[in-house]
């Protein structure tokens, strides 16, 4: 799968695409590949938008996405994508909207193959932060929330 890697404040990120859509974003130690790609316009734009996000100049991603997942996962990804920059929702909030339960929503969040772009870091548990499946776990979630000013107790 074509990919591009960038350095970010939360580690080295690799974005993969196929058929003109972003399929995944992973934390990988690929420093020798930073800035290289297969010349895909989608990958170049994804790298540009992520860099702008980390610089604080991009609030909304505008990329063609094709995350793997069940129909339920897709509905959770859509709900997460609708959470505005700097805002948060709980697993329970999303579950209520989807007529489901918090645990399956949490599992779908954990299965999100395109974190940051599909902002699973903006989803919290009713008692606090909840988890984060990206490298660095909850510390990375905290860093992303601080970047957005989305968790006032951390700012």
Which residues form the catalytic set? 120
- Cα(34)–Cα(131) distance, integer angstroms: 28
Residue 116: which of 90, 89, 141 has the closest Cα? Answer: 141
Cβ–Cβ under 8 Å, residues 16 and 1: yes
**Helical ranges in 113-155 per DSSP H:** 138-148
54 torsion bin: left (phi>0), alpha (psi -120 to 50), beta (else): alpha
């Amino acid at each position: 799968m074509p990919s591009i890697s960038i350095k970010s404040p939360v580690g080295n990120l690799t974005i993969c695409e196929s058929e003109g859509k972003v399929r995944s974003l992973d934390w990988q130690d690929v420093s020798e590949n930073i800035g290289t790609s297969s010349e895909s316009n989608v990958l170049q734009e994804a790298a540009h938008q992520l860099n702008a996000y980390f610089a604080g100049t991009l609030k909304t991603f505008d990329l063609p996405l094709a995350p793997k997942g069940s129909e339920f996962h897709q509905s959770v990804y859509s709900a997460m994508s609708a959470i505005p920059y700097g805002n948060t929702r709980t697993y329970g909030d999303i579950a209520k909207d989807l007529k489901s339960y918090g645990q399956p929503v949490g599992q779908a969040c954990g299965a999100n193959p395109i974190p940051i772009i599909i902002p699973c870091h903006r989803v919290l548990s009713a008692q606090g932060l909840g988890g984060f499946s990206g490298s660095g776990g909850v510390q990375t979630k905290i860093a992303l929330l601080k970047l957005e000013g989305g968790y006032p107790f951390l700012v």
